[in-house]
Amino acid sequence: MITTDYFFNMGKGKLEKFAEMEQMENVFQAPFYAVKECPFAMKGHWGEQYFNNSNPIVLELGCGKGEYTVGLARLFPQKNFIGVDIKGSRMWTGAKQALQEGLKNVAFLRTNIEAIDQFFGEDEVSGIWLTFSDPQMKKVNKRLTSTNFLNKYRHFMPDGGVINVKTDSNFLFTYTKALTELNQMPTDACCDDIYSNAPLLKEYPNLNIRTYYEQMWLDRGITIKYIRFHLMKNGNLQEPDIEIEEDTYRSYGRNKRQQ
């Protein structure tokens, strides 16, 4: 039986994490309303003011526990990585791990991804990772590969900046593939089952990083998809007008998904 003590302790644990994150040197917290009222001070200056180098900066949007962000930082010490999410109690895990390992090329930004263009200056970000994003099957503008978000990314990525999409969702994979084809975006890789493609894994070893949620999908027999494409600065982006079969397993309740 779940008692009130359970909820008290769970809430207390989150509060302790939030308090600890306030003291973490690799965590920055700025909700959407804050940057609307006052510009983010490090916008355009992450390299010089935090990382103390001019290495390329790569974002993971919707980083969850930060497993992929930390994994990428381990593999590529010559690059800087920033995990972005609004859920601080999850982000705490990756931020803590990065500090314990002494990874100086990692930072975490707690904010709404809808405001992501308020945090980075022109050409400041060389690449983006979208790992197991919510496919937002009912709301096109909320999909992290929609024209709405791609136009936001254009504000801070150079011409031809790289976007990596790693997903369990056939819906998001099909949608993103159709969007890149319609808008003639150069595509380096497009695969609907990465773990059956040994040459792809050899070419992109960062695909071998597995998060908690990825392993959950794999254990259920769901294949992992991947698209790597280049976002060009110019041109009006168009949404694909196609019917896509929805991911029915997404409709399960939380308890069902955990099982």
- Identify the active-site residue in 117, 123, 134, 192: 134
Alpha-carbon distance 257 to 40, whole Å?
38
Best CA proximity match to 109, nearest among 36, 48, 149, 50: 50
Residue whose tokens read 């929609």: 146
Q: Are 153 and 115 in contact (CB under 8 A)?
A: no
Paired residues of 246 in beta bridges: none
Residue-by-residue DSSP string for 16-64: HHHHHHTT-TTEEE--HHHHHHS--TTTT-HIIIII-S---EEEEES-T
Alpha-carbon distance 29 to 86, whole Å?
9
Active site residue 159: no
Identify the DSSP state of 1. Answer: -
Alpha-carbon distance 151 to 234, whole Å?
10
At 211, list the tokens: 């998060």
With both helix axes pointing from N to C terminus, report the angle between 67-75 and 88-101 in degrees, rounded to the nearest 10.
30
At 258, list the tokens: 């955990």
**Catalytic residue IDs:** 134
